């Protein structure tokens, strides 16, 4: 099963990252895959991420700081996330500070997708 997929919601394509229950190695591999998609995109992309029960360690935080991630972030139009725990919230905080994206956290997927597709 691929952790990175496309979904359509309210007529908008959304790049979805399913990191739920992922190990640190799986998180990095999926993040690298989404980075490649974002960097290859001609338009800015809506992004949804589920990090429920995600496993984070130092290598994940270091990966978030690599140049590829910074290039990919420039292709994000709007991003939202569900499933944050306290450690993941720190990671989101760091990501928002480093890349200035302003990823917004939500409690459930339907609300998140509605927010992403609002104009």
The number of residues in the chain equals 119
Give the list of residues 6+ apart from residue 43 with CB closer than 8 angstroms, or none. 77
Banded model confidence at residue 93, pLDDT cuts 50, 70, 90: confident
CA distance 82 to 112: 8
Tell me the whole-structure pTM to 2 decimals: 0.88
pLDDT the model gives residue 56: 78
Please give the residue range of the domain that contains residue 59.
Answer: 4-117
pLDDT the model gives residue 62: 86
Q: Does residue 48 contact residue 113 with C-beta atoms inside 8 Å?
A: yes
CATH code of the domain covering residue 26: 3.30.750.24
The token pair that represents 81 in the structure block: 């996330």
14-63, pLDDT tens digit by residue?
A: 999 999 999 999 999 999 999 999 999 999 999 999 999 987 788 988 88
CA distance 26 to 45: 22
The number of distinct structural domains making up the chain is 1
């Amino acid at each position: 099963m691929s952790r990175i997929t496309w979904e359509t919601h309210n007529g908008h394509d959304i790049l979805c990252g399913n990191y739920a229950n992922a190990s640190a190695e799986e998180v990095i591999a999926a993040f690298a895959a989404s980075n490649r998609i974002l960097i290859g995109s001609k338009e800015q992309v809506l992004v949804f991420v589920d990090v429920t029960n995600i496993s984070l360690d130092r290598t994940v935080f270091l990966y978030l700081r690599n140049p590829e991630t910074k290039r990919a972030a420039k292709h994000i139009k709007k991003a939202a996330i569900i499933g944050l725990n306290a450690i993941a919230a720190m990671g989101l905080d760091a990501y928002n500070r480093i890349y200035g994206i302003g990823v917004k956290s939500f409690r459930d997927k339907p609300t998140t997708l509605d927010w992403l597709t609002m104009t």
